[in-house]
């Protein structure tokens, strides 16, 4: 049985803009009345200083576009972004596209048929026998079940697998409204675009994927939603989400580590999805972590915002590029369900 090892990561970002500039030049006019004052406070306290957008609202206002028009634009923008991330990951792993046995693509911000997986397989020169899997509408935690599926393939088949998470949240700015809608304000203040790819191989040097695990509290299914509307996809985000995370996150992590003979105190790398500052604060408190433990997550939120599914891989990439990379990494991501996912990685020298 082959141990799946992450042999290469590749990231890609569209152009960025400062959070203050996005507020001053677009969102300050997008909200009105009492909503505007609330929105200004949320933007200022978002923990985000810069964000990336394939469709920059400073240049192009998509808020009144139909969903059809947004989906057509998704195809135009996602393909080159995904190609860049995949190319970098394959280069880092020393492989070619023809070596890939399974190609997993995660995205909840755009759909098309033929999909991103087929178009990238064509353009990158993957073998006709390459298997493909598309993971849609799992939201911010999708990278981890994607990583698990890729790892299982590597273990079962002894062949490389490739994971790509690509999200264009900039396509889903909702129409302006005078009605106070805190959920939409938070969404508009946090979300960003990115693509990250990971290559997994059977054994060798890199970070071994020991386990991917999850817990879903279906009694809170309405706390986080992503609805397809006539004007793009609309986020629903309950203020109760941090409370649900606080109920489940400690047991999820403790049980994961215990199955591998580890303790929380021995983990020297944390890649925690920054759904927002409150999410990170809850995880830090419930796990009893020092403030420095989530520095990579907070820095990623600051520089890139919440990019949905690629975000936890962006944090992992930051950890692995540190002067002293961690030996053991716990990845955590959260999304609709309400679902918590965790993964344990260990460095193989």
Compute mean pLDDT per 10 residues along the chain, 349 residues long, and list them: 94 97 95 88 96 97 96 96 98 98 98 93 97 94 98 97 98 83 91 98 96 96 91 90 94 98 96 95 97 97 98 98 96 95 95
Helix and strand counts by DSSP (H, E) for the chain: 11, 13
Contacts of residue 153, defined as CB under 8 A and 6 or more positions apart, other chains included, come to 101, 102, 131, 159, 161
Using the Cα atoms of residue 263, residue 306, residue 214 and residue 279 in order, give the sign of their dihedral: positive
Instruction: Please give the pLDDT value at position 288.
Output: 97
Q: How far apart are CA 87 and CA 328, in angstroms?
A: 26
Residues that are catalytic:
140
Residue 171 carries which DSSP code?
G
pLDDT at 178: 64
Query: Model's pTM, two decimal places?
Result: 0.96
CA angle 82, 161, 104 (to 5 degrees): 50
Catalogue all structural domains in the chain, each as residue range(s) with its CATH number: 4-202 (3.40.47.10), 206-348 (3.40.47.10)
**Separation CA 70–CA 67 (nearest Å):** 5
List the structure tokens of 242.
């941090």
Please give the pLDDT value at position 2.
Answer: 85
Listed in sequence order, the residues at least 6 apart from 114 whose beta carbon sits closer than 8 Å to its beta carbon are none
Distance separating alpha carbons of residues 27 and 24, to the nearest angstrom: 7
Residues 242, 254: Cα–Cα separation, whole Å: 19
- CB 82, CB 166: distance < 8 Å: yes
């Amino acid at each position: 049985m082959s141990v799946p090892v992450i042999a290469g990561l590749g990231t890609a970002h569209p152009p960025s803009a400062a959070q203050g500039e996005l507020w001053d030049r677009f969102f300050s006019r997008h909200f009105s009345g009492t909503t505007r004052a609330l929105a200004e406070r949320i933007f200022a306290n978002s923990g985000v200083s810069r964000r990336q957008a394939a469709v920059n609202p400073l240049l192009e206002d998509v808020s009144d576009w139909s969903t059809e028009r947004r989906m057509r634009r998704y195809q135009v923008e996602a393909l080159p972004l995904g190609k860049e991330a995949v190319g970098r990951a394959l280069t880092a792993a020393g492989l070619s596209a023809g070596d890939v046995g399974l190609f997993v693509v995660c995205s909840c911000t755009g759909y098309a048929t033929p999909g991103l997986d087929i178009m990238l397989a064509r353009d990158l020169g993957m073998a006709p026998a390459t298997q493909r899997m598309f993971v849609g509408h799992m939201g911010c935690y999708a990278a981890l079940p994607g990583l698990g599926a890729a790892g299982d393939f590597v273990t079962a088949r002894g062949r490389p697998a490739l994971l790509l998470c690509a999200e264009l949240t900039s396509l889903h700015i909702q129409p302006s409204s005078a009605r106070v809608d805190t959920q939409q304000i938070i969404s508009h203040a946090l979300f960003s675009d990115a693509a990250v790819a990971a290559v997994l191989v059977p054994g060798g040097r890199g970070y071994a994927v020991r386990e991917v695990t999850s817990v879903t509290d279906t009694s809170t299914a309405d706390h986080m939603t992503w609805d397809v509307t006539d004007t793009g996809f609309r986020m629903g985000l309950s203020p109760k989400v941090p409370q649900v995370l606080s109920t489940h996150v400690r047991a999820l992590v403790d049980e994961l580590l215990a199955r591998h003979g580890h303790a929380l105190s021995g983990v020297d790398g944390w890649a925690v999805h920054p759904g927002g500052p409150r999410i990170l604060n809850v995880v830090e408190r419930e796990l009893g972590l020092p403030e420095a433990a989530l520095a990579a997550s907070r820095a990623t939120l600051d520089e890139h915002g919440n990019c949905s599914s690629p975000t936890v891989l962006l944090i992992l990439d930051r950890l692995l590029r540190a002067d002293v990379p961690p030996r053991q990494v716990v990845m955590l991501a959260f999304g609709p369900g309400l679902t918590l996912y965790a993964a344990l990685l260990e460095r193989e020298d």
